[in-house]
Amino acid sequence: MTRVHVPIQLRWGDLDAFGHVNNASMLRLLEEARCRAFFRAEDSDDDIPPTAVFDPEVLGSPTGVVTLIARQSIEYLRPVPYRHRPLDVQLWLGRIGGSSIDVCYEVHSAVGEEERVVYARADAVVVLVDIATGRPVRLTPEMRAAWEPFLEEPVAFTRR
Amino acid sequence: MTRVHVPIQLRWGDLDAFGHVNNASMLRLLEEARCRAFFRAEDSDDDIPPTAVFDPEVLGSPTGVVTLIARQSIEYLRPVPYRHRPLDVQLWLGRIGGSSIDVCYEVHSAVGEEERVVYARADAVVVLVDIATGRPVRLTPEMRAAWEPFLEEPVAFTRR
Amino acid sequence: MTRVHVPIQLRWGDLDAFGHVNNASMLRLLEEARCRAFFRAEDSDDDIPPTAVFDPEVLGSPTGVVTLIARQSIEYLRPVPYRHRPLDVQLWLGRIGGSSIDVCYEVHSAVGEEERVVYARADAVVVLVDIATGRPVRLTPEMRAAWEPFLEEPVAFTRR
Amino acid sequence: MTRVHVPIQLRWGDLDAFGHVNNASMLRLLEEARCRAFFRAEDSDDDIPPTAVFDPEVLGSPTGVVTLIARQSIEYLRPVPYRHRPLDVQLWLGRIGGSSIDVCYEVHSAVGEEERVVYARADAVVVLVDIATGRPVRLTPEMRAAWEPFLEEPVAFTRR
């Protein structure tokens, strides 16, 4: 089990009028976890634990290729309260396809909380697309090799 | 086919750094459509076409009951550009269960555009929950009667 | 007095945990009003009343020039509740400078509400900047001529 | 000079279509810094450095009192890029009034960046309000004593 753990800081502004993290805001948190796991910022080295090899440099950073989200599902298991400690968002791959991957997520309470809780489970189909043509691009052998260690059982939703 | 059509104004701020409406922002648009279709604001009468009978008043507005989203899926069919005319978000019910309903969505380009486009399809499992106990509440016969006209085939996703 | 009136749809998601439109969300509403008043989308013609001549076409749409916000102030006069009818955001110019303008705003309750209320007042210093050099660009005589009809007294803040 | 330093994680979703942190998103970052400096979450102890005594417990946590933002100004000095390391948002008080305080902010690049940069300066008038009556509440001597160490020169804006 090689999951990438990304600490994501909540914001009070993620709450909605019900006083819990809003359902749409939850996708923002997943987006941020995905960005930190998959992409390097100029200063990214120390943020994500060294297990995170979802790395364009490793992948040969194909130019002219973007990633698009084709589909996304999320199951909300319990309301997320505002906390100062960052949530522990865990990512892995549920499938490595021809030109897309399934990114799976579990949103856990902060590392260090007495009681560990899973707040949500989600998955996203991420497609590699050629900017110029708008068409899907096949994953390279380098990508497959780099991503295989993160391949695990797909996320298991409780409903349906 | 009785769908509720809700005009939803885009905001330039819904765009992300790729210049398209962000995938998480899309859930905000669906949320707003759902709020306008299901709930009355003090001034709501003229906003939603008269077909919209998703109405707490009709439903006997059960006190102490809230609606929670248990699960949500969305398929992004093509990028949504910024436009001034409101999107045409269409809602219907894909299932009326014991204590939950499936709200289905299609996000269409604005009424009046030459070319009508479907940008996204989505569904959400909305559960009625008793605030005091936190447990699901059974739909009343009045709710079922009010909602049945909006029952249609569930949303058909292209992928999987 | 030539103000531009821009109808801006609220979203339930603009509310924060206090149940009112969040103070940061208010700037999003102003941003959207500014975008609709100043810029044309492909389909913008009928959205903003014909008084709106803040128009790049009129202005000779200088290429390679962007607008940046250098400073912004906002005074919150009373909490904004969620409503279905769009707010009436009014814009005018408080100053036409060498390479910048002051955009002034008043956020009014919806047209058609019995009681008209001013929720907020704001102003923003918008600077024209050359993308290539990053330096301010002087307003052209065409811009000055187009904008002068919208020149009015600057917004008067209650505090300080 | 006793400033409170609050590390605030950026999100890729804070960027707008220009590829920089959006002007309205900046207020979200300030809001989060304010929440972390002024309020305790159940787990807040280790997040903010021990200098932060803006603490309801210290203040006798007056019940039935909320804080509202009456006015806010922000000056954007340079565009904020997306980074993984948290921004260093610095807060202090520019004024302790009868029933309100001025919270001052400077948004600095992350601690540890080679080049330290000030991205923005801002201030906010925060008023204590009685929920029941909606009227301002006078600061108590305990509040004044707790806040005085953070009193500094008000933020100096470059423009005007």
* Structure confidence at residue B20 (pLDDT): 93
The SS3 of residue A127 is: strand
Per-residue DSSP letter, A149: G
* Structure confidence at residue C52 (pLDDT): 38
Rounded distance, CA D116 to CA D119, Å?
10
Q: Mean pLDDT throughout C79-105?
A: 94
Burial label, B65 (beta-carbon count in 10 A; 0-12, 13-18, 19+): middle
* Residue D39 pLDDT level (bands cut at 50, 70, 90): confident
Question: Strands (DSSP E) along C20-117, which ranges?
Answer: 65-76, 87-96, 100-108
User: Which residues of D have a CB under 8 Å from any CB of A?
Assistant: 8-9, 11-13, 28, 31-32, 35-36, 41-44, 46-48, 82-86, 110, 112-113
Shortest distance between the Cα of B100 and any Cα of chain C, in A, equals 22
Name chain D contacts of A111, Cβ cutoff 8 Å. Answer: none
For tokens 């450095």, name the residue: D49
Spans of all domains in chain A: 4-150
C31–D24 C-beta distance less than 8 A: yes
pLDDT digits 0-9 by tens, A147-158: 898 999 999 998
Q: Is the ipTM of this complex over 0.90?
A: no
* Residue D8 pLDDT level (bands cut at 50, 70, 90): very high
* Structure confidence at residue B40 (pLDDT): 63
Contact residues for B58 (Cβ-Cβ < 8 A; gap 6+)? B142, B146
Chains near C with 3+ CB pairs less than 8 A apart are A, B, D
Instruction: Provide the token pair at C132.
Output: 């290539």
Phi, psi of B91 (to 5 degrees): -125, 145
Q: B119 with B144: CB under 8 angstroms? A: no
The SS3 of residue D32 is: helix
Instruction: Provide the token pair at A22.
Output: 């809003």
pLDDT above 60 (res C20): yes
Chains near B with 3+ CB pairs less than 8 A apart are A, C, D
Counting one residue from C and one from D, how many pairs have CB atoms under 8 Å apart? Answer: 59
pLDDT digits 0-9 by tens, B79-129: 999 998 999 999 999 999 999 999 999 999 998 877 889 999 999 999 988
Mean confidence (pLDDT) of chain C: 85
* Structure confidence at residue B56 (pLDDT): 47
Instruction: Provide the token pair at D104.
Output: 């001052």
A13–D9 C-beta distance less than 8 A: no
pLDDT above 60 (res B71): yes
CA torsion angle for A12, A14, A20, A25 (degrees, to 10)?
-160
Contact residues for D106 (Cβ-Cβ < 8 A; gap 6+)? D89, D90, D118, D120, D121, D155
* Residue A143 pLDDT level (bands cut at 50, 70, 90): confident
pLDDT above 90 (res B140): no
Name chain A contacts of D8, Cβ cutoff 8 Å. Answer: 9
Q: Which of C12, C69, B104 is nearest to D76 (CA)?
A: C69
Mean confidence (pLDDT) of chain B: 85
pLDDT above 50 (res C156): yes
* Structure confidence at residue B59 (pLDDT): 47
Instruction: Provide the token pair at A152.
Output: 């695990």
Per DSSP, helices labelled H in chain C are 23-38, 141-147
pLDDT digits 0-9 by tens, D10-35: 999 999 998 999 999 999 999 999 98
Phi, psi of A147 (to 5 degrees): -90, -20
* Residue A37 pLDDT level (bands cut at 50, 70, 90): confident
D12–B15 C-beta distance less than 8 A: no
pLDDT above 90 (res C1): no
The pLDDT > 90 percentage for chain B reads 56
Counting one residue from A and one from B, how many pairs have CB atoms under 8 Å apart? Answer: 59
* Structure confidence at residue A59 (pLDDT): 47
pLDDT digits 0-9 by tens, D48-90: 443 334 444 444 455 678 889 999 999 999 999 999 899 999 9
D47–A84 C-beta distance less than 8 A: yes
Phi, psi of B137 (to 5 degrees): -115, 140
Residue from the list A13, A48, A83 with its beta carbon closest to the beta carbon of D41: A83
Residue from the list D23, D72, D73 with its beta carbon closest to the beta carbon of C23: D72
Residue from the list C22, C23, C70 with its beta carbon closest to the beta carbon of D159: C70
* Structure confidence at residue B43 (pLDDT): 60
B16–D17 C-beta distance less than 8 A: yes
Counting one residue from B and one from C, how many pairs have CB atoms under 8 Å apart? Answer: 59
**With the C-alpha atoms ordered D47, D51, D53, D57, is the resulting torsion angle positive or negative?**
positive
pLDDT digits 0-9 by tens, D91-135: 999 999 999 999 999 999 998 877 889 999 999 999 988 888 889
pLDDT above 80 (res A44): no
* Structure confidence at residue D53 (pLDDT): 40
Chain A interface mutation, best of D46, D84, D111, highest count of A Cβ atoms under 10 Å: D84
Q: Which of A34, A105, A25 is nearest to A67 (CA)?
A: A34
Topology given in CATH for the domain delimited by D4-150: Thiol Ester Dehydrase; Chain A (3.10.129)
Name chain B contacts of C14, Cβ cutoff 8 Å. Answer: none
For tokens 């906010």, name the residue: D124
Rounded distance, CA B101 to CA B154, Å?
11
Rounded distance, CA A147 to CA B95, Å?
38
* Structure confidence at residue D40 (pLDDT): 64
pLDDT digits 0-9 by tens, B31-46: 999 988 877 655 654 4
Residue B81 amino acid letter: P
Q: Which residues are paired to D13 by β-bridges? A: none
pLDDT above 70 (res A52): no
pLDDT above 80 (res C59): no
Q: D97 with D147: CB under 8 angstroms? A: no
Rounded distance, CA B118 to CA B77, Å?
7
Contact residues for B107 (Cβ-Cβ < 8 A; gap 6+)? B26, B29, B30, B80, B87, B88, B89, B90, B118, B119, B120, B121, B122
Phi, psi of A114 (to 5 degrees): -60, -50
The SS3 of residue A66 is: strand
Q: Which of C147, C94, C103, C143 is nearest to C125 (CA)?
A: C103
Q: Mean pLDDT throughout B70-80?
A: 96
Rounded distance, CA A129 to CA A125, Å?
12
